[in-house]
C-alpha cells in the first residue's frame, strides 16, 4: 500500500499490489504528515488559525493602571504546536 498526501492536505491510500487496502491509523497518518513537513496542511490551516488564538497578558498603561493586553499567538508558534501534536500522535498512537 502506498500513502499519498494530496495538495489540499488530505491523505489517500492505494494498493500497490493485490493486497486489499486497509484503513490508515491516526499514528500512521501523523507519521506521513511529519515526514512531509513543511507540507500543504500548514497552507490550509494558516488562514483558519491566524488571529484565532491569543494570550492575555497583564500590562500597565501610561497612568500606571493595569489592564489586560491580548497578544496573538504567532503563526510560527502555531506550526510548532501542530508539529508537536503530530509527533505525540505518531509516537503514542495506536496502530491497531
User: What end-to-end distance do the CA atoms of the chain give, in Å?
Assistant: 16
Q: Where are the domains of the chain?
A: 24-92
What are the Cα distances from residue 55, in Å, to 44, 51, 68, 72, 74? 23, 11, 10, 6, 10
Q: pLDDT, tens digit, for every residue of 50-80?
A: 989 999 999 999 999 999 999 999 998 998 8
Whether 25 has a pLDDT exceeding 70, the answer reads: yes
Task: Tell me the per-residue pLDDT of 29-46, one tens digit each, with 9 for 90 and over.
Answer: 888 777 766 677 778 888
The backbone region for 78, taken as left when phi is positive above 0, alpha when psi lies in -120 to 50, beta otherwise, is: alpha
Amino acid at each position: 500500500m502506498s500513502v499519498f498526501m494530496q495538495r489540499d492536505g488530505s491523505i489517500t491510500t492505494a494498493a500497490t499490489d493485490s493486497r486489499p487496502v486497509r484503513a490508515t491509523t491516526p499514528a500512521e497518518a501523523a507519521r506521513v504528515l511529519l515526514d512531509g513537513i513543511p507540507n500543504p496542511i500548514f497552507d490550509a490551516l494558516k488562514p483558519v488559525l491566524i488571529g484565532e488564538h491569543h494570550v492575555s497578558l497583564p500590562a500597565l498603561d501610561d497612568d500606571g493602571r493595569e489592564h489586560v493586553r491580548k497578544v496573538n499567538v504567532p503563526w510560527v508558534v502555531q506550526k510548532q504546536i501542530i508539529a508537536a501534536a503530530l509527533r505525540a500522535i505518531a509516537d503514542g498512537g495506536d496502530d491497531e
